[in-house]
Amino acid sequence: MKKIIREKGVIITGPTATGKTRVGARLARDFDGEIISSDSRQIYRRLDIGSGKDIQEYSFDSVTVPYHLIDIADPGEEYNLQKFQVDFIRAFDEILDKGKTPFVVGGSPLYISSIINRYSLPGGPPDSNIRKELSNKTNHEILEMIKKNGREAETIDVNNRNRLIRVYERLSSGKIAESGGAPEAEWLIIGTYLHRRQIHEKIKTRLEKRLLEGMLVEVEDLHTSGISWEKLEYFGLEYKWIALYLQGKIDLATMKSTLEARIRQFAKRQDIWFRKFENQGWKIHWKDPEKYDEIKNLVSLFIEEKQLPEPEMRISEIFYGPKSQ
C-alpha cells in the first residue's frame, strides 16, 4: 500500500479503560507509524502502574513500536501544557521526517485540545500575588471565579486545587492566547467506545489488577525517594488516594471505593470534553475497540486520502442508561 504522508496524523482517544493503548499500538505497527502519548501522567518516570503505561502493549513478536513523550520527566519536575506542546511538535516533526505517520494515543483531553485547536501558551512562572489571593478561597469559590472569567468550568475537577489555581492564574494574567502552538495538520480522530456499564466494570477490574501488581508499593517508593505527599496528591486519582491511605488519613476500604468512584467521574469528565470537541466541529469516529478491522479501514482511507464515511454516532447521542449503572 502506497502511503501519502503530509501534515496529518491519527488521534486515538476515548474514556479511560476503553482499550486505547492496544488499538493505537496495533495501528502504528500495521501502518509503520510511531506513537506519541497524550497522557499527562505517563510523561513522568516511575509513574508506571498508576498511570497505566502498559509498555508491553507496544510490543509484537519482540518488536516494539517506537513511542514518544513517555518517561521524559522526573516526578519532582514541573511539567506543563506549554512543555508538552514543545515536545509534541518535536516528536511530530521527527516522525514525519522519517516518512511515517504519527499516532497520538491518550485520554488527557486538555492535551488533545491543545493539539487540534492549536493553543498558544506563552506560559510563565506562578504568580505569587494571585496565589496569595486564592489561599483563603475554597475550591468551589475558585471554580466560581473561573466561571466569571468565561472558562467552561464544567470540565475542571473541583477536587484538584492545583489545577484550579493554575487555570485561574492563566486566565487572570492573560496567558492563554488564541492559537498556533501546535502543528497545522489534518487529523483523523478515532474514539474507543464502550457502554458506560462496561467502562465501570473495566475500571473495577483494572483497579484490582493494578493493586495486585504493586501500585501501593509504587506510590510508597516514590515518596521514599523524595517525592512529597503533596506532589503525589497533585498527580491525582491513583496517586492521590493511595497517598492519603499511606499517610493514614483514610482506611484501605475507603481508599478503594473512593478511588473507583473518582475514576468513574474522570471518565464522565472526559465525555464532556469529547462532546465539546464535536460541538467545535471535530468529527470523532466512535468505534468498539474489538472491531479493529473497521478502525484499520478508516485509517487506510485517511492515509490514502480517500473519502471518509461520516461518523456513525456522536457522543451526545449515546445513551448510557440510568446513573446507577
Across 62-67, average pLDDT: 94
pLDDT of residue 160: 76
Which secondary-structure segment (H or E) carries 186? Answer: strand 186-192
pLDDT of residue 262: 97
| Residue 321 and residue 225 in contact, taking contact as beta carbons nearer than 8 Å | no
Whether the per-residue pLDDT at 318 is higher than 80: the answer is no
Cα separations in angstroms, 276 against 29, 130, 150, 153, 282: 30, 29, 15, 12, 9
In one-letter notation, the amino acid at residue 300 is S
DSSP structural state of residue 13: E
pLDDT-based confidence at residue 1 (cuts at 50, 70, 90)? very low
pLDDT of residue 256: 98
pLDDT, one tens digit per residue, over 233-268 is 999 999 999 999 999 999 999 999 999 999 999 999
| Cα end-to-end distance, the chain, whole Å | 44
pLDDT-based confidence at residue 170 (cuts at 50, 70, 90)? low
Q: How far apart are CA 175 and CA 154, in angstroms?
A: 20
Whether the per-residue pLDDT at 122 is higher than 90: the answer is no
112: Cβ contacts below 8 Å, ≥ 6 apart: 11, 13, 38, 104, 106, 273, 277
pLDDT-based confidence at residue 155 (cuts at 50, 70, 90)? low
pLDDT of residue 150: 55
Which secondary-structure segment (H or E) carries 10? Answer: strand 8-13
Whether the per-residue pLDDT at 212 is higher than 80: the answer is yes
pLDDT, one tens digit per residue, over 175-195 is 444 445 678 899 999 999 999
pLDDT of residue 130: 80
pLDDT-based confidence at residue 134 (cuts at 50, 70, 90)? confident
Q: What is the mean pLDDT of the chain?
A: 88
pLDDT of residue 136: 87
